[in-house]
């Protein structure tokens, strides 16, 4: 009796192990095949290498990255495959730190702790690849898009819960021509950790001191408006966009592409010079003129400058909430093919990739001086 | 007497109505997914790479479809092998303490949040290997489906009349012969159903894949130690985007996924039709 019991167990175990190792072997065989094809192509085209680079991170960057990756796949006839997955800036930075991906995409630059950790080890290269803007969106039935005027201070007071109704004197003062309803403002914000929130709250902190003292700026913050019951949290840009669409008399902040994508109404925001602006090529260009002078180099720590120093820039027509999206690389890779692929792809992104035909609507290309930061940085790659 | 009849009728009516109501969502889902998604499905949709958000062609779900099939296959092989023998043990040695505890744990595992299983696979197979990889995804999926397969295999073996077993043993057959030849031929429909249920489960799961396989855009399969894509993961990513074209791909992918799952279920129904002894 005992023999039989054991036998069944042993047979079961052996079978399971055999099946697992067989399937592993199968996969292993196919991997070797890919490697050989890669080397073949390598010798044929000499200097050019073929292969896949894996990146992940900011969801904001994702549409633009897919457009670039797809174009580059076509240009290189499938030789360079850039695989970018949208998992969020925070997760992208964490995975990069663990060495799970070849490059990270992130709305804010690398956190100080992670940057320091890499110093003296494999080093860091980080540079902006594209410019985005954050817009304030609203849902008031009788007010058209680009009609509502707001200031950073008023937005801060709404999210602080100090302004409760749409017909508050402070809002009326900015919008004497609008028929503002006596309705409670539903303030929608991100519930997940987000680079968008980090930049948006950096803007509010810079423009309105009490915000800085009471709330501050981070990937997630304690929203005072929530305690009054007038706040709504939503996941992702798409979540905020949907929440604003579904809730009458709400306000929210999203990346511009999401506002256009879902047809939300966009508020005019007052800049430093008293002009009411929305993001356009002109207003974004104006924002960048002064900004480019204070930007660090690719191997330096960006966390102090961005976004706290870069929001609300000077310039007559400047749009105040401008944001960069970063690519983060190590300086050292133990794989030569990866280095060549990364260099080739990102050099293209920073040059040809910035041309109008390669930019997805809702994003803005880098000025040449800013693209230069990345091109210089890529020289450190080895 | 009349009143009792009436009560019975009302009761039956109410219960039937509730039964119909509970079945409505499945039809609503099927109709909704197919009416929204089927129009985007074509041969090239099944083969092509996912498209960029604006310019370029219509694109497809090639890497995700191939990835899903590989993951389903691998998870069913791993989970099937372990689940089958576990189920066999649970049925034939149900009196042992080990079997009783195992069964209890499997019943808990059925209710386990699958995202936690994904996190586990991440910590043992992604973080140490320093790479998102297909095997970690298949591993997570097989853990998800093992309890389903094991418990269903157990039912299949339990349903075999004791007399058949007795007869087999009385012929002097060895244990493996009895369990894997004589009894399996009787229980095979049940076992096959168990495997098919596991397959369908593996095909539809998203959470275990979020933390393990990363996803791919231009590669179908580059080895088990490399990232791979899957249809549920693609739907999750594309449905949340602000772009109409990606929404269309997500709808099309949903229709494909639903077809895969429904096919598996229809096969399992056909298999189960009648058990002959």
Domain boundaries, position B238: 63-273
Instruction: Tell me, yes or no, whether A332 lies in a domain.
Output: yes
Instruction: Tell me, yes or no, whether B111 lies in a domain.
Output: yes
**pLDDT value of position A168:** 96
Whether residue A263 sits in one domain with residue A333: no
Instruction: Tell me, yes or no, whether B153 lies in a domain.
Output: yes
CB proximity B56 to A under 8 Å:
yes
Distance from CA of B83 to the nearest CA of A (A): 10
Which residues of A, range 215-254, sit inside 8 Å of B by Cβ? Answer: 236-238, 241
Tokens of B45: 């949709």
**Contact residues, chain A, for B225 at CB < 8 Å:** 27-28, 31
Whether residue A175 sits in one domain with residue A277: yes
Whether residue A192 sits in one domain with residue A144: yes
Strand partners, A231: A187
Instruction: Tell me, yes or no, whether B57 lies in a domain.
Output: no
**pLDDT value of position B274:** 55
Instruction: Tell me, yes or no, whether A319 lies in a domain.
Output: no
Q: Could you tell me the sign of the dihedral formed by the alpha carbons of A62, A64, A67, A71, in that order?
A: negative
pTM, two decimals, is: 0.82
Whether residue A82 sits in one domain with residue A55: yes
- Give the CATH number of the domain where residue B258 resides: 1.10.3720.10
**pLDDT value of position B186:** 86
**pLDDT value of position B56:** 74
**pLDDT value of position A371:** 95
Tokens of A314: 């000077």
Whether residue A243 sits in one domain with residue A150: yes
**pLDDT value of position B277:** 47
ipTM over 0.85? The verdict is no
Please report, for residues A296, A307, A330, B273, the alpha-carbon distance to residue A117 in angstroms, rounded to integers and kept in the order given. 19, 21, 12, 62
**Contact residues, chain B, for A86 at CB < 8 Å:** 237
Per the prediction, chain A carries an average pLDDT of: 87
Instruction: Tell me, yes or no, whether B90 lies in a domain.
Output: yes
Q: What is the DSSP secondary structure assignment for residue A268, as one 8-state letter?
A: E
Whether residue A215 sits in one domain with residue A104: no
**pLDDT value of position A29:** 38
Residue environment code for B235-266, b if the CB has 16+ CB neighbours within 10 A, otherwise e:
bbbbebbbbebbbbbbbbbbbbbbebeeebee
Q: Which of A12, A27, A54 sits opposite B224 (nearest CB)?
A: A27
Instruction: Tell me, yes or no, whether A318 lies in a domain.
Output: no
Whether residue A333 sits in one domain with residue A188: no
Q: Which of B82, B175, B180 sits opposite A4 (nearest CB)?
A: B175
Residues of chain A with pLDDT under 70: 1-47
Whether residue A279 sits in one domain with residue A232: yes
Instruction: Tell me, yes or no, whether B258 lies in a domain.
Output: yes
Interface test with B, best of A1, A12, A53, A130 (most B CBs within 10 A): A12
d(C-alpha B272, C-alpha A209), whole Å:
70
d(C-alpha B152, C-alpha B155), whole Å:
5
d(C-alpha A320, C-alpha B216), whole Å:
36
Instruction: Tell me, yes or no, whether A244 lies in a domain.
Output: yes
Residues of chain B with pLDDT under 70: 1, 273-277
**pLDDT value of position A44:** 42
Whether residue A42 sits in one domain with residue A150: no
Instruction: Tell me, yes or no, whether B39 lies in a domain.
Output: no
Q: Which of A12, A78, A238 sits opposite B240 (nearest CB)?
A: A238
Q: Which of A28, A81, A98 sits opposite B219 (nearest CB)?
A: A81
Domain tally for chain B? 1
- Give the CATH number of the domain where residue A367 resides: 3.40.190.10
Q: Which residues contact residue A62 at a Cβ distance below 8 angstroms, ignoring those fewer than 6 apart?
A: A84, A85, A86, A105, B241
Domain boundaries, position A23: 11-133+296-312+324-378
Instruction: Tell me, yes or no, whether A270 lies in a domain.
Output: yes
């Amino acid at each position: 009796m005992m023999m039989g019991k054991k036998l069944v167990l042993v047979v079961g175990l052996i079978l399971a192990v055999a099946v697992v190792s067989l399937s592993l072997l199968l996969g292993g065989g196919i991997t070797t095949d890919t490697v050989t094809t890669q080397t073949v192509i390598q010798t044929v085209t000499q200097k050019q290498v073929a292969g896949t680079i894996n990146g992940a991170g900011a969801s904001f960057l994702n549409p633009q990255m897919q457009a670039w990756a797809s174009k580059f796949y076509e240009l290189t006839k499938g030789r360079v495959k850039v695989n970018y997955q949208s998992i969020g800036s925070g997760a992208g930075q964490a995975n990069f730190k663990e060495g799970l991906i070849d490059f990270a995409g992130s709305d804010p630059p690398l956190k100080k702790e992670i940057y320091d950790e890499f110093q003296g080890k494999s080093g860091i290269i980080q540079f902006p690849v594209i410019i985005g803007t954050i817009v304030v969106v609203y849902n008031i039935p009788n007010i058209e898009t680009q009609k509502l005027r707001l200031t950073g201070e008023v937005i801060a007071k709404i999210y602080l819960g100090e302004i409760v109704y749409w017909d508050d004197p402070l809002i009326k003062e900015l919008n004497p021509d609008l028929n503002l309803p006596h309705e409670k403002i539903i303030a929608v914000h991100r519930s997940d950790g987000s680079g968008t929130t980090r930049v948006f709250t950096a803007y509010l902190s810079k423009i309105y001191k009490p915000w800085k003292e009471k709330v501050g700026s981070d990937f997630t913050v304690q929203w005072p408006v929530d305690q009054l019951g007038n706040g709504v949290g939503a996941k992702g840009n798409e979540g905020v966009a949907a929440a604003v669409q579904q809730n009458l008399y709400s306000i929210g902040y999203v990346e511009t592409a999401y506002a256009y994508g879902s047809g939300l109404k966009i508020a005019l925001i007052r800049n430093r010079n008293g002009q009411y602006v929305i993001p356009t090529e002109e207003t974004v260009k104006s924002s960048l003129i002064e900004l480019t002078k204070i930007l660090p180099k690719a191997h330096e720590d960006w966390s102090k400058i961005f976004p706290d120093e870069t929001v609300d820039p000077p310039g007559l027509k400047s749009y105040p909430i401008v944001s960069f999206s970063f690519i983060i690389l190590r300086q050292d890779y133990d794989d030569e093919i990866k280095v060549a692929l990364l260099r080739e792809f990102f050099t293209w992104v920073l040059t040809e990739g910035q041309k109008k035909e390669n930019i997805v609507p809702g994003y803005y290309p880098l000025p040449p001086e800013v693209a230069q930061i990345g091109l210089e940085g890529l020289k450190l790659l080895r | 007497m009349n009143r009792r009849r009436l009560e019975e009728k009302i009761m039956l009516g109410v219960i039937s109505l509730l039964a119909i109501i509970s079945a409505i969502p499945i039809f609503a889902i099927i109709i909704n997914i197919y009416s929204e998604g089927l129009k985007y499905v074509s041969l090239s949709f099944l083969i092509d790479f996912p498209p960029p958000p604006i310019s370029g062609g219509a694109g497809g779900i090639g890497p995700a479809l191939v990835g899903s099939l590989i993951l389903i296959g691998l998870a069913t092989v791993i989970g099937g092998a372990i689940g089958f023998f576990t189920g066999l043990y649970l049925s034939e040695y149900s009196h042992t303490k080990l079997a009783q505890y195992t069964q209890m744990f499997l019943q808990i595992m059925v209710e386990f949040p699958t995202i936690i299983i994904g996190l586990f696979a991440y910590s043992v197979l992604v973080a140490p290997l320093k790479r998102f990889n297909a095997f970690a995804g298949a591993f997570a999926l097989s853990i998800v489906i093992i309890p389903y397969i094991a418990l269903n295999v157990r039912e299949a073996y339990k349903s075999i009349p004791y007399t058949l077993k007795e007869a087999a043993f009385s012929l002097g057959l060895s244990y493996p012969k009895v369990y894997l030849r004589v009894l399996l031929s009787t229980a095979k429909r049940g076992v096959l159903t168990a495997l098919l249920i596991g397959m369908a489960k593996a095909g539809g799961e998203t959470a275990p894949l979020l933390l393990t396989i990363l996803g791919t855009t231009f590669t179908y399969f580059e080895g088990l130690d490399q990232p791979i894509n899957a249809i549920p993961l693609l739907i999750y990513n594309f449905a949340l985007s602000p772009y109409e074209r990606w929404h269309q791909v997500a709808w099309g992918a949903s229709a494909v996924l639903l077809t895969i799952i429904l096919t598996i279920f229809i096969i399992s129904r056909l298999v189960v039709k009648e058990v002959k002894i």
